Structure 1
């Protein structure tokens, strides 16, 4: 029906109400919006590609039979048939004022296997999602954000691990893109901020901060600002002032900000909140960036470690590191930086992305790649992203595509102005542009679900970057295309970009000598060193320049990685200690020019020490970088399924001492050269079930329940049947009392989950249908054992580590070790009859 309406509209047989496109498919809405809203910005290439997408989508709905469409022979439609034919369209009828067209599958000769397995049809199909995430029963507190279920078992176990994190612990949450990592930040913040509480979420880009603010507001209805970023307008200054005030008062439930914003302008307010014990969680989103960006152009990511360490001296809170792609090198870096003072663990449920089909084409020249890219853009569905490695390349491709008739395009690089970025993201979300040409600067915080293709006109310098950028497509769970067009010169570019810009040992030691020569000693033996000093090998620099200070910070982070020192922090000066605003600002500026460190190796100035410890740290990091480039080169001409290459990238073995969980990766492949050659259909691996991560989770029992247990960890409560409303009321009152006293695990038949949910209030409880102790966190547990079910003897085993377990069970329950007698007659542990216990508790 919707296709017929478009047919009539294009053939000018009828009009459409474009204010209400309900019932139209996404590709149809995109075409209609383009035709109606901005024909001046609609190129011929855009028109052809959008119409082709609509035709191919309809063809797949009709079992592969291509429908026809009648289009006018006036701008913005092509007036020459050759333009249509460039897009694999057949001109069935050509008249002076219109064409009748159909579309066939795109099968470029320059793509291997395209004759037998065209890259395009899966992108147009309206099939079910390739991703096999199955929602699972939710816990009551999910209703705070409007949810009833978890997206997957991985998300459920991650949330439960977060909510039972011991004070001071660090948890790496490793979940695939599209599995709901945002919930892992938003939910704890909302749960722990009543009546006061502040959760810090560090994000790498302003776009991501704004996107998280929007999502959090939609879920919670909170009206105040939660994204903190630079904005010099009057409104922007007022916004930041209000956020800082709420942080000091403990009423800013969550704040999304950059590492620079946190360490600099937010620092005084955050320290004040810490002194009043308002801090609830310290979260870094996209935590893999700490290594990838922190080693190079944004060292502040790694300075977060010292800032956090000092906050933990004032109050205790868990640290959460959220990521979808963590390598062993990255995990080691995160542990080095955030592994102290508490426990460091990983909860991981990684399934490789099943949506992308991977295609690679070597191009003999830049011109051949240009022709192939333009052909691809004429044929591939929208929206899509084109990635280049260098700013100059992105600029050139953008100009080439405009000349080729594509106007609904935009570009983004690291040099794009903030205002331009915001405008691009807004237009991208509102379907006002179809193609973005970008460096890797584009993607973080840009969650457009229906991106159908990601094209690389380069060789990414790491397999990690490639996988992350391909992952911008198919976030709706449906098929997407990864197309890589590369030339011989791209190998050199990738090699140069892959070289880690670590400072050399000689230059690093020179910078450290100058910093340490101007140190000041703190009472506890730590030191403060200035970062606005020049190295002896180059005294012509501006000591206060960002470049010089960044190199000094990189020197400190390299020494930290090598184990020579520990990056720390000191609280900023407080305004109340100064007579004037000018004096306070001067003191604050001086504070920001210092870094606090704890020396771990007394021979830190020795050249031999640098050769022994620092140089191996540099070499190890470079080895990892070279390995990821090697894997990228293997992917271009794979000898095995590409999922094997990704699995090698992201699988991490367990470690015994100190113990760290392994990271298991479930393979998935939406199609690759090897699988197509072997006739292997796209497949999706299962969702791994993570094991509980904490040996000693955080929990608290109130005193009345402790008295009831009387030093025991196992308590049995025998009940007769709950046959009337009075007994059910008493049962529910006991449920509520136990939950309020600190019970967290609740094992009960599904029919009773609603009753537990109603009685839980604002308490955190985890619902289970069966008692499976190896899959449950070691927190106080209530088991409701239904009538007629045999009782396993394991229920009666002494709880591990003395964690309380309370069992409600029928009074006629047989002894599991001897069925001829009743358990109530032989159990010599702590036990009560239900009615008596309710009376004792005043229920």
Structure 2
């Protein structure tokens, strides 16, 4: 019996829950005690008590169940324990005992042999990748290791990116994608001299990212619409710090980026302060940009104009990159973008699907499921009105510790929900797909869909909210026939038709304003016609359709979306506020474009160029829904279906490399039927992505190496290196001269670990020299005495510039009967001579 369980037993026995419970360690125990203090519903009490009992059973591995003594007083009166498979026994006047059994519902196939709740309460570890040795600069964010090999390769790729490059980072959820945005931004603004902008799809994600960086950045970093006095003041402070380069990092929405933040970003870019332009959850550029958030696909135009002012690196981060998504990103950001991918399917979720004959049966099964499953959990549905329906049904069933989130939730509602969610004040979130993007609630044990997602991509993303701590979680989908119709309706092509799109384009283009350099200013608030239907269309809806028309034309290469600097207040000091406001209205209601095809306004061009783009999008959409339906049919392993969705073929055009998914399955109907146990493939490592990475080489070292690829420095002994700390000094000098890869075994890292200047440099640590895996940048190799030297250290086939410190007694790798120092034909120094040469 655990200490926490024993303590909880005593608290329940005495009923004294007002005392300090900081010593209670199990999260499920904390949840129950918090609930008992705050008038819980009967359903909350039953499910939380069950969680505690079943967790203790699985934790202790007992054959006989654990039990609790329950007093006969509030809030334990009129409790229906049986609804959660809890048995009562040893009944006395003042108390009784309870225990819980595994959940094995008759209606859920295979649950008799494989109780779905067992691995959840056991908190079975499923993730098979381990942290890897970190680089010294990780100390900046109080870490010593990378979460995964994929995170390591991604961050190294970002830090060696050439000027103006664009990099797609494709990492699985839980592998450390967020740090790929945060760490480079922090490293490039250590002296409050730089800013990076991170575009996020939801306010909830901006708030969550700000919370994560609070220990490192005191000032606000989340920029979102807030009309309160405090909110306006906070946002003004962020804009001011962006202008003067002290903001470091800002998280914002596409809409804020394109409007109120744009002026500040232009100022930062002019002064060279803009370091990284980052889109988190970049798959949303396609998914939401094509539908109800067209601002996502306007971002590339703003980026293009900012790049005219100064150089910066563009990062596109995602955990779910499909071929269609990559096509979209290439069309918007350029085909020369590079991809770092280390995709392993999530091994944590076990998948369960059940068709329900009616909505009433589904409701009964959902209430049964949430009565039995551990907390916290998420219930996903498709429509906003369904969220409200399930909220009422949970209330009727005695559940109070829940909240809701949809795309219509206000900023205050989102903030409040996230705070309660993270503080364990609520156990269940009922939501549409608006909830969860990037929100790092690690211990979600179950994700329930009471709908059919319209794409396999959406399904995988939402299931991915569970098990982020690497432990087992459950995906349960309860669906009816009507759900197929809803999914089909959502999946129907949202792109504008050829006829309607051409009508909108002609209406916009006829009112164009000719700018310099072949660019045009196009109004986006123009109705497509003077018909009553078009005139009465809401302005925002009309603007959104016009923007979709422009982005569709951009993808078909008829036009190129560009941008222009917003009006600056300082340029209107001699003008009235009305003149300045008119300038802003013009900026908001227009977009800048460049013509790529002179036949852009001809119907034949639209039929030849636009229609194929529309059809391709529809084909991808059809495939996505087909794969979702196939998952429900349970005819092949779910990992095969996900792999089909996320594998990407190589392509010679644009020099695209393939993306191969490493398969994993935590359990699915097919695997359970065939007796296949849960499995997880190995997270793949990526090769160096840049042929010509960005690096600096100091003039002194260039002089000494004299155009050679290899410079050898021969030392007498390790003791010589330790004398007067000359080893540390020479490492410091070489790193300051541009050595960035450091090949050194752990036992000799004393030469670099305690040097603060080295720790703050972009240096990458390796145990071994593997030229095909490390970045193609200047490399410092420390070869310890007594070890044979690998021939590839001296190979001329590698274009990596190397400085090698090695013992003077190192044999020639080709002939052991002679010393390398006596026959090496290239550039070399003895250690003491080199130290004299560089004044160490």
Kept after mapping to 2: 8 A contact 1:209/1:445: no
Kept after mapping to 1: 8 A contact 2:207/2:415: no
- CA displacement 1:503-556 (0-9 Å, x = unmatched): 111111111001111112222112111111110264643688111111100000
Equivalent residue in structure 2 for 1:830, among 799, 813, 827:
827
Equivalent residue in structure 2 for 1:298, among 275, 290, 293:
293
Q: Which residue of structure 2 lines up, in the alignment, with residue 677 of structure 1?
A: 673
- 1 CA distance for matches of 2:439 and 2:430? 14
Query: Does residue 1:22 correspond to 2:23, yes or no?
Result: yes
Q: Which residue of structure 1 lines up, in the alignment, with residue 321 of structure 2?
A: 326
- 1 CA distance for matches of 2:530 and 2:603? 16
Following TM superposition, by how much is the alpha carbon of 1:131 offset from its aligned partner in structure 2, in angstroms? 0.7
Q: Which residue of structure 2 lines up, in the alignment, with residue 67 of structure 1?
A: 66
Following TM superposition, by how much is the alpha carbon of 1:115 offset from its aligned partner in structure 2, in angstroms? 0.9
Which residues in structure 2 correspond to 1:404-419 (within 5 Å)?
Answer: 404-419=397-412
Following TM superposition, by how much is the alpha carbon of 1:78 offset from its aligned partner in structure 2, in angstroms? 4.2
Kept after mapping to 1: 8 A contact 2:350/2:472: yes
SS of 2:608 mapped into structure 1 = helix
Q: Which residue of structure 2 lines up, in the alignment, with residue 50 of structure 1?
A: 48
Equivalent residue in structure 2 for 1:109, among 106, 110, 125:
106
Which residues in structure 2 correspond to 1:302-451 (within 5 Å)?
Answer: 302-339=297-334, 343-451=336-444
Following TM superposition, by how much is the alpha carbon of 1:474 offset from its aligned partner in structure 2, in angstroms? 1.1
- CA displacement 1:427-483 (0-9 Å, x = unmatched): 111111111111111112432111111111111111111111111111111111111
- 2 CA distance for matches of 1:544 and 1:713? 65
Q: Which residue of structure 1 lines up, in the alignment, with residue 144 of structure 2?
A: 148
Kept after mapping to 2: 8 A contact 1:503/1:554: yes
Equivalent residue in structure 1 for 2:115, among 114, 118, 135:
118
- 2 CA distance for matches of 1:332 and 1:513? 27
Which residues in structure 2 correspond to 1:174-323 (within 5 Å)?
Answer: 174-195=170-191, 196-218=193-215, 220=216, 222-323=217-318
Query: Does residue 1:736 correspond to 2:732, yes or no?
Result: yes
SS of 1:484 mapped into structure 2 = strand
Query: Does residue 1:592 correspond to 2:588, yes or no?
Result: yes
SS of 1:541 mapped into structure 2 = helix
Equivalent residue in structure 1 for 2:512, among 514, 519, 529:
519
Q: Which residue of structure 2 lines up, in the alignment, with residue 529 of structure 1?
A: 522
Q: Which residue of structure 2 lines up, in the alignment, with residue 779 of structure 1?
A: 777
Q: Which residue of structure 2 lines up, in the alignment, with residue 3 of structure 1?
A: 5
Which residues in structure 2 correspond to 1:631-710 (within 5 Å)?
Answer: 631-710=627-706
| Structure 1: segments with no counterpart, 5+ residues | none
Query: Does residue 1:572 correspond to 2:573, yes or no?
Result: no
CA RMSD of aligned residues (A): 1.6
Following TM superposition, by how much is the alpha carbon of 1:755 offset from its aligned partner in structure 2, in angstroms? 1.9
- 1 CA distance for matches of 2:724 and 2:685? 35
My pick for the range that moved more, 512-521 or 716-725, is 716-725
**Number of paired residues?**
831
- 2 CA distance for matches of 1:18 and 1:424? 27
Q: Which residue of structure 2 lines up, in the alignment, with residue 471 of structure 1?
A: 464
Q: Which residue of structure 2 lines up, in the alignment, with residue 808 of structure 1?
A: 805
Kept after mapping to 1: 8 A contact 2:170/2:317: yes
Kept after mapping to 1: 8 A contact 2:727/2:751: no
Following TM superposition, by how much is the alpha carbon of 1:582 offset from its aligned partner in structure 2, in angstroms? 3.7
Kept after mapping to 1: 8 A contact 2:11/2:17: yes
- CA displacement 1:128-179 (0-9 Å, x = unmatched): x211221111101000000101111111000000000111111111111111
Equivalent residue in structure 2 for 1:548, among 542, 547, 553:
542
- 2 CA distance for matches of 1:603 and 1:151? 51
Q: Which residue of structure 2 lines up, in the alignment, with residue 76 of structure 1?
A: 75
Following TM superposition, by how much is the alpha carbon of 1:306 offset from its aligned partner in structure 2, in angstroms? 0.4
Following TM superposition, by how much is the alpha carbon of 1:786 offset from its aligned partner in structure 2, in angstroms? 1.3
SS of 1:603 mapped into structure 2 = coil
Query: Does residue 1:85 correspond to 2:87, yes or no?
Result: no
Following TM superposition, by how much is the alpha carbon of 1:724 offset from its aligned partner in structure 2, in angstroms? 4.7
- 2 CA distance for matches of 1:34 and 1:741? 60
1:138/1:62 Cα in 2 relative to 1: closer, same or farther (>3 Å)? closer
- 1 CA distance for matches of 2:753 and 2:722? 19
- 1 CA distance for matches of 2:159 and 2:280? 17
- 1 CA distance for matches of 2:649 and 2:120? 36
1:239/1:799 Cα in 2 relative to 1: closer, same or farther (>3 Å)? farther
Kept after mapping to 2: 8 A contact 1:2/1:24: yes
1:602/1:680 Cα in 2 relative to 1: closer, same or farther (>3 Å)? same
- 2 CA distance for matches of 1:496 and 1:367? 23
SS of 1:260 mapped into structure 2 = helix
| Structure 2: segments with no counterpart, 5+ residues | none
> TM-score of the superposition, structure 2-length normalised?
0.97
1:627/1:728 Cα in 2 relative to 1: closer, same or farther (>3 Å)? farther
1:78/1:119 Cα in 2 relative to 1: closer, same or farther (>3 Å)? farther
Which residues in structure 2 correspond to 1:476-495 (within 5 Å)?
Answer: 476-495=469-488
1:603/1:25 Cα in 2 relative to 1: closer, same or farther (>3 Å)? same
- 2 CA distance for matches of 1:417 and 1:610? 40
SS of 2:817 mapped into structure 1 = strand
Kept after mapping to 2: 8 A contact 1:18/1:32: no
